[in-house]
Chains A and B, each alone.
Chain A
Amino acid sequence: MTQATTHSLQSFGFMTVVELPSLGHCGGLLVVSRIGRPIEFHCTAPVATNRAQQIMYGETYSGFLFSDQIGMALIDKARERPSVFITDCSEMLPLTELIDNPLVFAEPVDSKTEFDGSGLKHFDLSGQSVYCVNHRGADATSISQGVQEFASRLPLDEPFERIRQAIEEAHSVLRAA
C-alpha cells in the first residue's frame, strides 16, 4: 500500500439506525478522521413507523425509511463529506442509489440474516465480513485498503457503538428534561 493510497481516505462516515422502544427508529451519523477522532455527529429524532407508508411500500418500506428518509436526512446535515460511508445496517444499502460517495457494508458479526454480497468486493476483518457496495469511481481496492487501515486502529464496530451510546444518551437527557 502506498502512502498516497493510505491517506486518500481522510474521513469515514459511520451511519446506523437504532430502534428505540416505543419511540421508533433513530438514525446516527458519526464522521471521524482516519485516526478515529470525531469530526461531526448527527442524529435524527425518532421516526415512528408509519402504517400507511408501511402498507404502501410493502417489503421495501425499511429501505425507504432507513435510506431515503433517515439516511438522507443525516447526510444532508453533514458539512464534511466523508471519503467513504460505512454502515452496519443492510436496510441502509439503498443509499447507494442516492449518494455519490463510496458505500461500505460492515456486516455485524451477530447478524441473523445472511447478506447476499455476490458480485461485491468483499474482505474479512477479524471475522467480520465487509463489502464494498459501491465505489463511485474510486478504486475498490484502495477503499478496502483504507478501511482495513482504519480497522487496524479501531475495530469497525467501535464507531457504531459510540453512535448507539450517544443516541441513548441524547434521549435519556431529553426524557429527563
Chain B
Amino acid sequence: MDQYFKLTESLNHPSPSSEDPRDHVLRADTGPPKIKPIVLDTTSWNQAIESQLPELLSSWQAESPDKPPVVSARFKGRRIKTSSYYFSETGPAKRGNRSSIAADLFDPYAPERVADPVNEERKSGAKSKEKKVATRTRMKAPADVIKLEDRLFYLLQPPLENLLDGKTMEFPFEPFPFQYAGIAFLFPRNSAILADEMGLGKTMQAIATVRMLLRAGFIKSVLIICPKPLVTNWQREFKSWAPEITVAAIKGNQHQRAWHWKTESAMVKLANYELLTRDEALVTAPENEFDLVILDEAQRIKNKANATSEVVHRINRKRSWALTGTPIENGVEDLVGICEFAAKGTVSSGMTAREMRVRVKDLILRRTKDVVMKDMPPRLMRDAELELSPEQQISYDGAEKDGVLRLNDMGDELTIKHVFELVLRLKQICNFDPATGMSSKIERLKADMEEVAASGQKAIVFSQWVDSLEVIGKQLTVHRPLEYHGRIPSKQRDPILKEFKENPERKVLLMSYGAGAVGLNLQFCRYVFLFDRWWNPAIEDQAINRAHRIGAAGSVTITRMIMAGTIEQRIHQILEEKRELFREILSDGDTPAKRGLSRNEIFGLFDLTTPKGKITPVNEVEDELGKAA
C-alpha cells in the first residue's frame, strides 16, 4: 500500500560534514515549517534511502511562494516476492501412479468416516488420546529429494497422528510414537532399510506405509518377499492393518505360480525366497514391474553372490525397502549385500565402519527396545556359568587335546573349517557327555523349569542341534515339552505353536535357532533359555525376541548357559565383540572404529598359528553351522 509523507529538513543548521546521518533526518512535520527546502539526495542518509527504496522519491513538487517551502516525497512500499505452493497441482502425488483404490490420503476434502465412539474408546483408550496431543510425527523428505516443492509437500502435511486418526483410515490399535516415526521414515523413501530390533513391529510399520502409499495414489503394485514360514503371518497382518488392500500369496505348482505372476491383480503379491530362483524368469520379466519391492528378513541376501540375491537384484522396481532386525550379522559385508538391493552403490566392501555409517545414515532407521519402549517390560539377561560334570570334563579335555594336536599336524592344509569342526565337537560335549549323557546344563535347566512351571509361566529352550533338543525333551517330560525345529514338517508347525499357547500344561517349547529365530510371536513366554550359544549374536537376539516383543506380559528372563573354562566362554567373548561392531555402525555415537572377527582371532580360539594356506571365509563356515542345525 502506498504511503505519503511530507518531508522537510531544516536548512538553518546544515551540517553536511557531520558523520551522523541523523543530523539530516527527514521528519514528518505537520506544523508550518520555517525552513527552506533542500535537495534531499545530497546527504548520505538520503542516498541510503534511495538505494534501498528506489521509488521513494517518486514525485517532487514545488510549493507556491506564499506557502512555506515543502518537499513532498511519495513513499511506496516495495512489492515483496512470494513463493507459492498449490497442493492440488503439485507434489509427488501428481507424478505418481494412481492405484485402483480411492486416492484420498492427502485429499483436503476427503470425507471422514463416522467413528463408533464405543469402538474408538476400545481401540485407543484414554492414554493414547493424551499421547496424540503430545506427539506430532512429521514426514520429512530424505536427502535425495532435491526439489523444494517435493520437500514441502511432506513437511506441510499434518502430523501422521492426525492423518491416521481413524477418520479416513482405521487401524486395529493406535501405533506407538516410534512406529509413527517408522512410517514417516518409510513413506517418502524410494530406498530404505528398516532395521528395528526384533519385536518392534517392522511388519506393521511396513504394511501401514504400503496402505498409505496406495491410498495416496503413489503406488499401485507391491511385491513382498519373505521366508516361507512368514507368508501366513504377512497375510494375517494385512487383514488387521490394511483390510481394504488385496493380497495374494504366490504358491502352488509351476502353472499356478505363473498365473499369479502374470495375471494376478491383487495390489500386493507375497512370495517366499525359496521360490524366487525357481520363478526367476517370471519374476524378473520386463513386463513385471513393481512400484515397491519389500524384502522381509533381508539378511537373507547378505551374500550378494548367492542365487537368491542375484534374482532379487534383477526384479524391476521403483522403490526398494529392506526389513531386517540384523543388518549386520557377521561383518560389514552383510550390510553391503543388503544395500546392493536397497540403494546400489551406497556402500562398498572396502569402506571402514566409520565411512559406512556416514553413507547409510539417511538410508537406515534402527531403533532398539531399550530406547523406544521405555514402558516395555525389561529384558533380564542372566549368564549361567556352569562347571562341566566330571564325566564331561574328561571327555572335553580329551577331545580338545586330540583335536588341537590334529589341527597342528595339518600344517598348511589347515582351514578355518577344520577349526570349526573342533568347535562344534567341543560345544556338543558342553551340552552332553557323549559317553554317559551327563550334563550340567540339563540339571540346571530342570531346576529352573521347576520354578518356571511352579509360577505358572512358560519357557522356550533354544539349541543349535535338533539332537540336543530331543535329549532335552526326554529329560523334561514332566513339563510336556513341544518341539519346533527343522525336522518338523511346515504344516505341523502352526498347530504346535497354537497348542503351546493355549494348553496351560505345555510348559516348554524346544526350538532350534534355525526354525524358531524369526517372525514368531511368543510374547506370552516369560523365560528363554539358550542351552548353547549360536555363533552369531544377531541370531541369538532374534531368538530372544520371540518372547521379548510388543505385548510381552511382563519381564522376560533370558538365561545363557555357558560352561566355564571351555570353548563356550571364549566364543562368548567374541560374540560380545560382534555386538560392539553392530553398535558401531548403526548407532549415532562416535565410537572408535573396531574390526570384526579377524582370522587370527578365530585361530586364536585354540592358540593356533595362522597358516599360509587358503582360508575358508567366515560366512561360509556360518552357513555350514546353519546347515548343522
A contact residues vs B (CB 8 Å cutoff): 11, 27, 30, 32-33, 35-45, 47, 50-52, 55-56, 64, 68-70, 72-74, 77, 79, 98, 153-155, 158, 161-162, 165-166, 169-170, 173-174
Contact = CB atoms under 8 A, between A and B. Distances in A.
A176 B86 CA distance: 24
B84 A40 contact: yes
B151 A169 contact: yes
Contact of B107 (A37, A64, A166): A37
A47 to B, nearest CB: 6
Contacts of A69: 77-78, 80
A28 B158 CA distance: 16
Interface string B7-29: 00000000000000000011010
19 contacts: A11-B108, A32-B108, A35-B108, A37-B157, A38-B157, A39-B86, A39-B88, A41-B84, A50-B52, A56-B28, A72-B1, A98-B1, A153-B165, A154-B158, A155-B133, A158-B162, A162-B156, A170-B83, A170-B148
Nearest to A67: B1
A52 B49 contact: yes
Contacts of B156: 30, 38, 41, 162, 166
Contact of A43 (B56, B79, B82, B106): B82
Contacts of B106: 37
Contacts of B133: 155
B159 A42 contact: no
Nearest to A47: B80
A70 B83 contact: no
Contacts of A79: 86
Nearest to B22: A55
B82 A73 contact: yes
Interface in B1-55: 1, 3, 5, 25-26, 28, 48-49, 52-53
A161 B28 CA distance: 40
A4 B107 CA distance: 21
B110 A37 contact: yes
A173 B148 CA distance: 7
Interface string B145-183: 000100110011111001001010000000000000000
B60 interface: no
Contact of A44 (B28, B80, B88): B80
A45 B84 contact: no
B85 interface: yes
B53 A50 contact: yes
Nearest to B157: A38
Contacts of B319: none
A134 B159 CA distance: 30
Contacts of B48: 51-52
B81 to A, nearest CB: 4
Please indicate which of the listed interface residues B83, B112, B138 has the most CB atoms of chain A within 10 Å of its own CB.
B83
Given A72-B1, A158-B136, 9 more contacts: A35-B108, A37-B110, A37-B157, A40-B84, A42-B83, A42-B85, A52-B56, A153-B162, A173-B151
B82 A39 contact: no
A70 B158 CA distance: 24
A35 B26 CA distance: 51
B53 A52 contact: yes
A47 B53 CA distance: 13
B52 A52 contact: yes
Contact of B152 (A27, A51, A52, A166): A166
Nearest to A126: B133
Interface of B: 1, 3, 5, 25-26, 28, 48-49, 52-53, 56, 75, 77-88, 106-110, 112, 133, 136, 138, 148, 151-152, 155-159, 162, 165, 167
Contact of A45 (B1, B28, B82): B82
Given A56-B5, A153-B165, A170-B148, A36 B82 contact: no
A156 B156 CA distance: 15
Nearest to A50: B52
A147 to B, nearest CB: 16
Nearest to A35: B112
Contacts of B162: 36, 153-154, 158
Contacts of A35: 108, 110, 112, 167
A33 B109 contact: yes
A79 B85 CA distance: 11
B87 A165 contact: no
B83 A68 contact: no
Contacts of A70: 80
Contacts of A174: 148
Of the listed residues B53, B81, B136, B158, the one surrounded by the most CB atoms of chain A closer than 10 A to its CB is: B158
A36 B138 CA distance: 14
A153 B109 CA distance: 14
B152 A37 contact: no
The 7 closest A-B pairs by CB, nearest first: A33-B108, A37-B108, A73-B80, A45-B81, A41-B85, A36-B158, A38-B156
A98 B1 CA distance: 10
A77 B155 CA distance: 20
Contacts of A51: 48
Contacts of B87: 37-41
A162 B155 contact: yes
A165 to B, nearest CB: 6
B59 to A, nearest CB: 16
Contacts of A155: 133
B136 A161 contact: yes
Contacts of B82: 42-45, 73-74, 77
Contacts of A47: 80
B4 to A, nearest CB: 11
B75 A56 contact: yes
Nearest to B77: A69
A68 B165 contact: no
A70 B152 CA distance: 20
A98 to B, nearest CB: 8
Nearest to A76: B82
Nearest to A43: B83
A44 B75 CA distance: 21
A153 B28 CA distance: 50
B158 A158 contact: yes
Given A72-B1, A73-B79, A37 B158 contact: yes
A136 B108 CA distance: 25
A41 B83 CA distance: 8
Most chain B CB within 10 A, of A32, A38, A72, A166, is at A38
A112 B88 CA distance: 38
A148 to B, nearest CB: 15
| B56, B75, B162, most chain A CB atoms within 10 A | B162
A44 B81 CA distance: 6
A169 to B, nearest CB: 6
B131 to A, nearest CB: 14
A170 B87 CA distance: 16
A43 B149 CA distance: 12
A45 B80 contact: yes
Contacts of A55: 25
B22 to A, nearest CB: 9
Contacts of B78: 69
A33 B157 CA distance: 11
Given A35-B110, A35-B112, A37-B107, A165 B80 contact: no
